[in-house]
Chain A
Amino acid sequence: DTAVSQTPKYLVTQMGNDKSIKCEQNLGHDTMYWYKQDSKKFLKIMFSYNNKELIINETVPNRFSPKSPDKAHLNLHINSLELGDSAVYFCASSRGPGGTQYFGPGTRLLVL
């Protein structure tokens, strides 16, 4: 029933670890996004895929690597986690690039 879902909802981990966040949408959309929202609520676009092709690749550390196995899924892998990576990560999807974006519930990442 959920349109855009993310797992896990919460992630607490130690510095230096590697972790993945998964996103799935059942809206039939072609475009998916990853955003980072910091403690001041600022939304920063990280990546976007359209039909499994990377179309937005903002300046983020190369420790962050997105992967889109198909149009309905967009995963985010983070290597060597740092304290500054602590944030809420949102996945979103839209019918096409520039369309109305539908957000998932977020993954709250805390790096200790």
Chain B
Amino acid sequence: QQQVKQSPQSLIVQKGGISIINCAYENTAFDYFPWYQQFPGKGPALLIAIRPDVSEKKEGRFTISFNKSAKQFSLHIMDSQPGDSATYFCAALGDSNYQLIWGAGTKLIIKP
């Protein structure tokens, strides 16, 4: 119940295309869903986050879509650029309210 399942494990997208990464969870007590971006040789950094009271949040080219009934959320990167090549992690705040439960990560490569 504490797991967050992330797919795909890796993704290759052409420059200008849409990148989509999906996550699913079981625990309905989760109430905060962040996405972190990690470039090679760096630590992860918060990219965008959503709470379950909204179905979508957009920041620039990055959008989180949230489906509460399906217990799924996804990251969409519009007009993907080579600089977006990184590993992306979804996460959910556990019902203990202080432990983030992390997805396994998606390695995204944007081809020029």
Contacts and interface: CB of A to CB of B under 8 A. Distances in A.
Interface of A: 4, 31, 40-43, 45, 48, 50, 55-56, 90, 92, 96-98, 100-106
B102 A43 contact: yes
Interface centre among A45, A55, A98 (most CB of B within 10 A): A98
Contacts of B104: 40-42
A35 B84 CA distance: 24
Given A101-B46, A103-B43, A41 B97 contact: no
Contact of B87 (A4, A41, A96): A41
Contact of B100 (A4, A45, A55, A90): A45
A31 B98 CA distance: 10
Contacts of B100: 45, 98, 101
Contact of B43 (A41, A42, A90): A90
Interface in B97-112: 97-100, 102, 104-105, 107
Given A42-B105, A50-B98, A100 B34 contact: yes
Interface centre among A41, A55, A102 (most CB of B within 10 A): A41
Chain B interface, DSSP helix/strand/loop, else mixed: strand
A17 B83 CA distance: 40
B23 to A, nearest CB: 14
B4 to A, nearest CB: 11
Nearest to B104: A42
Interface in B28-58: 32, 34, 36, 38, 41-46, 49
B89 interface: yes
17 contacts: A4-B43, A31-B98, A42-B104, A43-B102, A45-B99, A48-B98, A48-B99, A96-B98, A97-B97, A98-B32, A98-B97, A98-B100, A100-B46, A102-B45, A103-B45, A106-B41, A106-B42
